[in-house]
Structure 1
Protein backbone atom coordinates (compact mmCIF):
# COMPACT_ATOMS: atom_id res chain seq x y z
CA UNK A 1 0.00 0.00 0.00
CA UNK A 2 1.45 3.42 -0.88
CA UNK A 3 2.66 5.50 2.05
CA UNK A 4 0.41 8.47 1.25
CA UNK A 5 -2.83 6.48 1.62
CA UNK A 6 -4.19 5.71 5.08
CA UNK A 7 -4.91 2.08 5.85
CA UNK A 8 -8.53 1.13 5.40
CA UNK A 9 -10.49 -1.27 7.50
CA UNK A 10 -12.87 -2.71 4.98
CA UNK A 11 -15.22 -5.23 6.45
CA UNK A 12 -15.89 -8.02 4.02
CA UNK A 13 -19.28 -9.62 4.60
CA UNK A 14 -19.17 -13.31 5.26
CA UNK A 15 -21.61 -15.77 3.82
CA UNK A 16 -24.03 -17.34 6.24
CA UNK A 17 -24.43 -21.07 6.47
CA UNK A 18 -27.88 -22.69 6.31
CA UNK A 19 -28.41 -22.64 10.08
CA UNK A 20 -27.51 -18.94 10.27
CA UNK A 21 -29.83 -18.10 7.37
CA UNK A 22 -32.67 -19.94 9.10
CA UNK A 23 -31.96 -18.16 12.39
CA UNK A 24 -31.85 -14.75 10.68
CA UNK A 25 -35.10 -15.53 8.87
CA UNK A 26 -36.80 -16.60 12.10
CA UNK A 27 -35.60 -13.45 13.88
CA UNK A 28 -36.89 -11.18 11.13
CA UNK A 29 -40.24 -12.91 10.74
CA UNK A 30 -40.83 -13.14 14.49
CA UNK A 31 -40.26 -9.40 14.68
CA UNK A 32 -42.66 -8.72 11.79
CA UNK A 33 -45.33 -10.92 13.35
CA UNK A 34 -45.11 -8.80 16.52
CA UNK A 35 -45.93 -5.56 14.67
CA UNK A 36 -49.06 -3.74 15.76
CA UNK A 37 -52.06 -4.61 13.57
CA UNK A 38 -52.32 -1.15 12.01
CA UNK A 39 -48.64 -1.21 11.01
CA UNK A 40 -49.03 -4.65 9.45
CA UNK A 41 -52.16 -3.52 7.61
CA UNK A 42 -50.52 -0.36 6.25
CA UNK A 43 -47.44 -2.28 5.09
CA UNK A 44 -49.71 -4.85 3.44
CA UNK A 45 -51.81 -2.13 1.84
CA UNK A 46 -48.75 -0.57 0.23
CA UNK A 47 -47.43 -3.97 -0.82
CA UNK A 48 -50.65 -4.83 -2.64
CA UNK A 49 -50.71 -1.40 -4.23
CA UNK A 50 -47.14 -1.67 -5.47
CA UNK A 51 -47.75 -5.05 -7.10
CA UNK A 52 -50.92 -3.69 -8.71
CA UNK A 53 -48.93 -0.72 -10.03
CA UNK A 54 -46.45 -3.18 -11.49
CA UNK A 55 -49.33 -4.87 -13.28
CA UNK A 56 -50.60 -1.52 -14.57
CA UNK A 57 -47.09 -0.78 -15.88
CA UNK A 58 -47.01 -4.22 -17.52
CA UNK A 59 -50.37 -3.79 -19.24
CA UNK A 60 -49.45 -0.28 -20.37
CA UNK A 61 -46.16 -1.53 -21.83
CA UNK A 62 -47.98 -4.21 -23.82
CA UNK A 63 -50.42 -1.82 -25.52
CA UNK A 64 -49.22 -1.61 -29.10
CA UNK A 65 -46.48 -4.16 -28.43
CA UNK A 66 -47.72 -6.30 -31.31
CA UNK A 67 -45.44 -4.27 -33.60
CA UNK A 68 -42.38 -5.34 -31.59
CA UNK A 69 -40.72 -8.73 -31.88
CA UNK A 70 -42.36 -11.21 -29.49
CA UNK A 71 -39.34 -11.60 -27.21
CA UNK A 72 -38.70 -7.87 -26.93
CA UNK A 73 -42.28 -7.20 -25.86
CA UNK A 74 -42.09 -9.93 -23.20
CA UNK A 75 -38.75 -8.69 -21.84
CA UNK A 76 -40.10 -5.14 -21.69
CA UNK A 77 -43.19 -6.36 -19.84
CA UNK A 78 -41.06 -8.33 -17.39
CA UNK A 79 -38.84 -5.36 -16.67
CA UNK A 80 -41.69 -2.96 -15.98
CA UNK A 81 -43.66 -5.46 -13.86
CA UNK A 82 -40.68 -6.02 -11.58
CA UNK A 83 -40.82 -2.32 -10.77
CA UNK A 84 -43.72 -3.15 -8.46
CA UNK A 85 -41.75 -5.91 -6.76
CA UNK A 86 -38.73 -3.63 -6.42
CA UNK A 87 -40.92 -1.04 -4.70
CA UNK A 88 -42.06 -3.70 -2.22
CA UNK A 89 -38.47 -4.66 -1.41
CA UNK A 90 -37.11 -1.12 -1.24
CA UNK A 91 -39.88 0.18 1.02
CA UNK A 92 -40.19 -2.86 3.26
CA UNK A 93 -43.85 -3.38 2.38
CA UNK A 94 -45.56 -6.68 3.19
CA UNK A 95 -46.72 -9.30 0.71
CA UNK A 96 -48.70 -12.37 1.67
CA UNK A 97 -46.25 -14.58 -0.19
CA UNK A 98 -43.44 -13.45 2.10
CA UNK A 99 -45.64 -13.71 5.19
CA UNK A 100 -46.10 -17.42 4.58
CA UNK A 101 -42.46 -17.85 5.57
CA UNK A 102 -43.56 -17.02 9.12
CA UNK A 103 -44.36 -20.70 9.31
CA UNK A 104 -40.66 -21.26 10.09
CA UNK A 105 -41.03 -19.12 13.22
CA UNK A 106 -44.12 -21.10 14.19
CA UNK A 107 -42.33 -24.40 13.61
CA UNK A 108 -39.55 -23.33 15.96
CA UNK A 109 -42.07 -22.22 18.60
CA UNK A 110 -41.14 -18.54 18.51
CA UNK A 111 -44.68 -17.42 17.65
CA UNK A 112 -48.09 -18.90 18.38
CA UNK A 113 -50.56 -20.21 15.85
CA UNK A 114 -52.91 -17.32 16.58
CA UNK A 115 -50.11 -14.80 15.91
CA UNK A 116 -49.31 -16.57 12.66
CA UNK A 117 -52.91 -16.65 11.46
CA UNK A 118 -53.55 -13.05 12.53
CA UNK A 119 -50.55 -11.93 10.49
CA UNK A 120 -51.58 -13.95 7.46
CA UNK A 121 -55.16 -12.64 7.49
CA UNK A 122 -54.10 -9.03 8.02
CA UNK A 123 -51.51 -9.09 5.25
CA UNK A 124 -53.77 -10.96 2.82
CA UNK A 125 -56.71 -8.60 3.33
CA UNK A 126 -54.41 -5.57 3.19
CA UNK A 127 -52.81 -6.78 -0.06
CA UNK A 128 -56.26 -7.25 -1.56
CA UNK A 129 -57.39 -3.78 -0.44
CA UNK A 130 -54.22 -2.17 -1.78
CA UNK A 131 -54.59 -3.87 -5.15
CA UNK A 132 -58.29 -3.00 -5.38
CA UNK A 133 -57.48 0.63 -4.57
CA UNK A 134 -55.18 0.80 -7.59
CA UNK A 135 -57.80 -0.98 -9.73
CA UNK A 136 -60.38 1.64 -8.73
CA UNK A 137 -57.97 4.51 -9.41
CA UNK A 138 -57.18 3.16 -12.87
CA UNK A 139 -60.80 2.37 -13.69
CA UNK A 140 -62.26 5.70 -12.57
CA UNK A 141 -59.45 7.68 -14.19
CA UNK A 142 -60.47 6.28 -17.57
CA UNK A 143 -56.92 5.25 -18.45
CA UNK A 144 -58.16 1.78 -19.35
CA UNK A 145 -60.08 3.28 -22.25
CA UNK A 146 -57.07 4.97 -23.88
CA UNK A 147 -56.61 3.82 -27.46
CA UNK A 148 -60.30 2.79 -27.43
CA UNK A 149 -59.70 -0.03 -24.97
CA UNK A 150 -57.33 -1.82 -27.33
Structure 2
Protein backbone atom coordinates (compact mmCIF):
# COMPACT_ATOMS: atom_id res chain seq x y z
CA UNK A 1 0.00 0.00 0.00
CA UNK A 2 2.61 2.65 0.88
CA UNK A 3 2.73 5.39 3.42
CA UNK A 4 0.48 8.42 3.28
CA UNK A 5 1.78 11.90 3.93
CA UNK A 6 -0.36 14.93 4.71
CA UNK A 7 1.66 18.11 4.25
CA UNK A 8 0.01 21.17 5.78
CA UNK A 9 0.65 24.57 7.29
CA UNK A 10 -0.22 25.88 10.72
CA UNK A 11 0.68 29.04 12.65
CA UNK A 12 2.67 27.16 15.30
CA UNK A 13 3.53 23.77 16.76
CA UNK A 14 0.67 23.65 19.32
CA UNK A 15 -1.89 24.34 16.57
CA UNK A 16 -0.33 21.67 14.34
CA UNK A 17 -0.39 19.17 17.20
CA UNK A 18 -4.05 19.98 17.91
CA UNK A 19 -4.85 19.41 14.22
CA UNK A 20 -2.99 16.09 14.39
CA UNK A 21 -5.47 14.96 17.04
CA UNK A 22 -8.55 16.62 15.58
CA UNK A 23 -7.91 16.12 11.88
CA UNK A 24 -6.21 18.61 9.59
CA UNK A 25 -9.25 19.27 7.42
CA UNK A 26 -11.49 19.47 10.47
CA UNK A 27 -9.12 22.09 11.90
CA UNK A 28 -9.53 24.12 8.69
CA UNK A 29 -5.84 24.06 7.80
CA UNK A 30 -4.53 23.96 4.20
CA UNK A 31 -3.66 20.39 3.26
CA UNK A 32 -1.67 18.57 0.55
CA UNK A 33 -2.10 14.78 0.80
CA UNK A 34 0.37 12.61 -1.13
CA UNK A 35 1.43 9.00 -1.25
CA UNK A 36 5.04 7.93 -1.25
CA UNK A 37 7.03 11.17 -0.82
CA UNK A 38 8.46 11.06 2.68
CA UNK A 39 9.56 14.21 4.50
CA UNK A 40 12.89 12.85 5.68
CA UNK A 41 14.99 11.32 2.92
CA UNK A 42 13.05 12.20 -0.22
CA UNK A 43 11.89 15.70 0.67
CA UNK A 44 15.16 16.29 2.54
CA UNK A 45 17.02 15.61 -0.73
CA UNK A 46 14.74 18.06 -2.54
CA UNK A 47 15.37 20.66 0.16
CA UNK A 48 19.10 20.18 -0.32
CA UNK A 49 18.72 20.74 -4.07
CA UNK A 50 16.42 23.74 -3.66
CA UNK A 51 18.57 25.52 -1.08
CA UNK A 52 22.03 24.45 -2.25
CA UNK A 53 22.68 23.16 1.28
CA UNK A 54 24.38 19.77 1.67
CA UNK A 55 21.91 17.08 2.75
CA UNK A 56 23.77 16.40 6.03
CA UNK A 57 23.48 20.11 6.89
CA UNK A 58 19.77 20.10 6.05
CA UNK A 59 19.18 17.16 8.39
CA UNK A 60 20.92 19.01 11.22
CA UNK A 61 18.56 22.01 11.08
CA UNK A 62 16.53 22.31 14.32
CA UNK A 63 13.12 21.95 12.64
CA UNK A 64 14.10 19.21 10.19
CA UNK A 65 11.62 16.39 10.86
CA UNK A 66 11.39 17.16 14.57
CA UNK A 67 8.80 14.80 16.05
CA UNK A 68 5.88 16.63 17.67
CA UNK A 69 3.55 13.69 18.30
CA UNK A 70 4.18 10.94 20.81
CA UNK A 71 7.07 8.64 19.86
CA UNK A 72 4.88 5.79 21.11
CA UNK A 73 2.38 6.16 18.28
CA UNK A 74 2.89 3.21 15.98
CA UNK A 75 1.01 4.24 12.87
CA UNK A 76 0.82 8.07 12.82
CA UNK A 77 3.46 10.73 13.43
CA UNK A 78 3.62 14.49 13.14
CA UNK A 79 6.89 16.17 12.20
CA UNK A 80 7.99 19.72 11.50
CA UNK A 81 9.48 20.88 8.21
CA UNK A 82 12.06 23.63 8.04
CA UNK A 83 11.36 27.29 7.39
CA UNK A 84 14.24 27.12 4.90
CA UNK A 85 12.26 24.62 2.82
CA UNK A 86 9.11 26.77 3.00
CA UNK A 87 11.03 29.84 1.89
CA UNK A 88 12.95 28.04 -0.89
CA UNK A 89 9.74 26.56 -2.30
CA UNK A 90 8.09 29.97 -2.37
CA UNK A 91 11.17 31.57 -3.97
CA UNK A 92 11.69 28.93 -6.68
CA UNK A 93 8.00 28.66 -7.54
CA UNK A 94 8.10 31.41 -10.15
CA UNK A 95 10.93 29.74 -12.06
CA UNK A 96 9.36 26.30 -11.97
CA UNK A 97 10.66 23.02 -10.70
CA UNK A 98 11.51 21.09 -13.86
CA UNK A 99 15.27 21.08 -13.36
CA UNK A 100 15.13 20.17 -9.67
CA UNK A 101 12.52 17.49 -10.35
CA UNK A 102 14.67 15.93 -13.08
CA UNK A 103 17.65 15.64 -10.70
CA UNK A 104 15.45 14.64 -7.76
CA UNK A 105 13.80 11.82 -9.73
CA UNK A 106 17.17 10.03 -9.90
CA UNK A 107 17.71 9.61 -6.16
CA UNK A 108 17.86 5.98 -5.05
CA UNK A 109 14.78 6.31 -2.84
CA UNK A 110 12.53 6.78 -5.88
CA UNK A 111 14.01 3.73 -7.60
CA UNK A 112 13.59 5.35 -11.00
CA UNK A 113 9.82 4.84 -10.73
CA UNK A 114 8.62 8.44 -10.41
CA UNK A 115 8.47 10.63 -13.53
CA UNK A 116 10.08 14.06 -13.14
CA UNK A 117 6.84 15.75 -14.24
CA UNK A 118 4.98 14.13 -11.37
CA UNK A 119 7.62 15.35 -8.90
CA UNK A 120 7.56 18.85 -10.40
CA UNK A 121 3.78 18.88 -9.93
CA UNK A 122 4.15 17.84 -6.30
CA UNK A 123 6.77 20.56 -5.70
CA UNK A 124 4.48 23.14 -7.33
CA UNK A 125 1.56 22.15 -5.07
CA UNK A 126 3.86 22.19 -2.02
CA UNK A 127 5.14 25.60 -3.16
CA UNK A 128 1.54 26.84 -3.32
CA UNK A 129 1.12 25.70 0.29
CA UNK A 130 4.43 27.36 1.25
CA UNK A 131 3.57 30.60 -0.50
CA UNK A 132 0.20 30.73 1.23
CA UNK A 133 1.90 30.01 4.57
CA UNK A 134 4.39 32.87 4.09
CA UNK A 135 1.76 35.35 2.90
CA UNK A 136 -0.26 35.25 6.11
CA UNK A 137 0.02 38.22 8.49
CA UNK A 138 1.72 35.84 10.92
CA UNK A 139 3.59 33.37 8.68
CA UNK A 140 2.65 29.71 9.09
CA UNK A 141 5.11 26.86 9.25
CA UNK A 142 4.99 23.57 7.36
CA UNK A 143 4.31 20.14 8.85
CA UNK A 144 3.84 16.54 7.76
CA UNK A 145 1.50 13.96 9.24
CA UNK A 146 2.72 10.50 8.30
CA UNK A 147 0.42 7.47 8.34
CA UNK A 148 1.13 3.82 7.67
TM-score, with length taken from structure 1 = 0.27
Bigger helix fraction: 1
> Which structure: greater strand fraction?
2
TM value normalised by structure 2? 0.27
The structure whose Rg is larger is 1
